[in-house]
Amino acid sequence: MSAQDERYDVVIVGSGATGGWAAKQLTEAGLRVAVLEAGRKLDPERDFNEHKRSFEMPFRGRRLGTREQQARQPVQSLCYQCDEYTNHLFVDDTEHPYTTPADRPFHWIRGRHVGGRSIMWARQTYRLSDYDFKAASRDGFGIDWPLDYATIAPYYDQVERFIGVSGQAEGLPQLPDGAFLPPMQLTCGEELLKSAIRDKFGRALTIGRCAILTKDHNGRAKCHYCGPCSRGCRTGSYYSSPSSSLPAAEATGRLTLIPNAVVSHVEVDDAGKCRSVYYVDRITRQHREVFGSAVVLCASTLESTRIMLNSTSDQHPTGIANSSGVLGHYLMDHVMGGGAAGVLPVLKNTPDTRGKRPNGIYIPRFRNINDRHSKFLRGYGYQGNASVVKWGHAMSVEGFGESFKNEVKNNRPWTISIGGFGEHLPQYDNFCELDKVHTDAWGIPILHISAAYGDNEQKMIDDMADAAEEMLHAAGAEDIEVRRDISVPGLAIHEVGTARMGDDPGSSVLNTWEQAHDVSNLFVMDGSGYPSSACQNPTVTFMALATRACEYLVEEFKAARL
């Protein structure tokens, strides 16, 4: 009997951060699970280039490689991590098109392979707080999440203890502490900035909280600081589903992984409940169906919503679980573009002891915590670093020969840079819908995405830039360059919303357990369910929500209520 002919307890779509995690949780609870992944399985020996130097690459590490490759990835190449080392980890835009209005662009960064974007993510891991979950109650905008921090905190603990998160406890109400491995070390420049902003503004700075191991953990080796994490990690020292959660699921003997399965839609029975997941084989183009008692979508925010919109039937004429009419709406991404960079002359000739630390600093949100800002709602946090320049300053050094080399070697400047990630307010008119004309390479309708930042985000960017400049000044930085160009939605790669959670089935798609209000055996366990974006990197919250949802799914399954 083939995998497609069997009936599973649960069919999961997507094998990334939440898909792999849901597979682990459900198989360990005794359920038989099929995971459908649109792309191929990666071979670390062939696909990971973290130890290769530029002269070992065919095009010497050139940004994207051949002109043909560049032409096939006009959107993906906008991602700072997409280059000759990694472009095979990002989709071919010509096979995976989407459309946008000319005046409302969206840059959709994607990876289709086993592990999804958990292979390329930046690994920053920050909890949300009740400043986020109950933001609407504080300022009157949007809706609250249908849960609070006390409810989700134990599930954050469970995730962090398995995946391994290094960080420093700070005792901040807006950035709850977690179950941390030992923190990485701040550099001298970062310590300087930390002291300056604490003493002058009462603001915190901490080492980035990241899903990278600082000691051996759960059978995975600690990070050896080789540096370029985006190119893959053969030692599994940062969290990715192929290095940790998927192997744990496979160890139960109850997981069936089906790669190269490009999902089109969910089929329903006469009662309108999920019957199966329909997909196209990526290589053969054959159409197939996998049956399950429950379906869990973890394909990523926009992909899961695309599947739902494409799952039309007599019972669900506008897409499965869309009786509210809000499916596809309230799309959000973090707004970027405000920040500053400068030089720290006081540290000239001071050595940098951090090595190739695969992490930066974090300055948690400080706006709209105690006092309400006069110009905008919600807030933002900063990420950045301070380090010694190795040779980039040589262009400004005069001389020739030995004296020139000595000057470059012995007078290396310290630079410091911080950039903000701000909350994007949920707006109904930021949305995605099915394109009625175009399809992808497998004949599946593509998305039309229409999103923009508003006045609140622009005012936040301006404040983000001004506050960055004042903090660098406080640290003694010079030659400060201030950035205040608002980003294009999508480029933060933190897209959330479009199938939001809520207590009211008339204004939301999912309930507090990420279960569809309309379809009891459909769950969506990725960023789709976010009612608001907060300003923290979202992945660990995806996983904590999925942990809670899986616990509920198992209870409902065993009680035959799905």
> pTM of this prediction?
0.96
**What's the pLDDT tens digit per position in 38-79?**
999 999 999 999 999 889 988 888 778 888 888 999 999 999
Longest dimension (CA), the chain: 82
Domain extent listing, the chain:
3-124+240-331+429-448+495-558, 181-210+336-422+454-484
Are 197 and 476 spatial neighbours (Cβ–Cβ below 8 Å)?
A: no
What is residue 1's predicted lDDT score, i.e. its pLDDT?
Answer: 46
Give the chain's count of helices (H) and strands (E): 12, 17
Residue 394 has pLDDT above 60, yes or no: no
What is residue 169's predicted lDDT score, i.e. its pLDDT?
Answer: 98
Percent of the chain predicted with pLDDT > 70: 96
Terminal CA-CA length for the chain: 26
What is residue 397's predicted lDDT score, i.e. its pLDDT?
Answer: 62
Over residues 108-119, the mean pLDDT reads: 97
- Band (pLDDT 50/70/90 cuts) for residue 391 is low
Domain 3-124+240-331+429-448+495-558: top CATH class: alpha beta
Among 135, 441, 133, 96, smallest CA distance to 302 is for 96
**What's the pLDDT tens digit per position in 246-271?**
999 999 999 999 999 999 999 999 99
- Band (pLDDT 50/70/90 cuts) for residue 407 is low
Among 509, 508, 491, 505, smallest CA distance to 451 is for 491
Q: Which residues on neighbouring strands pair with residue 501, listed in sequence order?
A: 510
- Band (pLDDT 50/70/90 cuts) for residue 5 is low
Supply angle C-alpha 84, 17, 287, rounded to 5: 80
Both tokens of 90, joined, read 């990002």
- Band (pLDDT 50/70/90 cuts) for residue 214 is very high
**Among the ranges given (94-103, 334-343, 388-397, 491-500), the one the predictor scored with the smallest mean pLDDT:** 388-397
Who's near 62: CB < 8 A, 6+ residues apart? 83, 84
**What's the pLDDT tens digit per position in 276-330?**
999 999 999 999 999 999 999 999 999 999 999 999 999 999 999 999 999 999 9
What is residue 545's predicted lDDT score, i.e. its pLDDT?
Answer: 98
Supply angle C-alpha 309, 315, 320, rounded to 5: 25
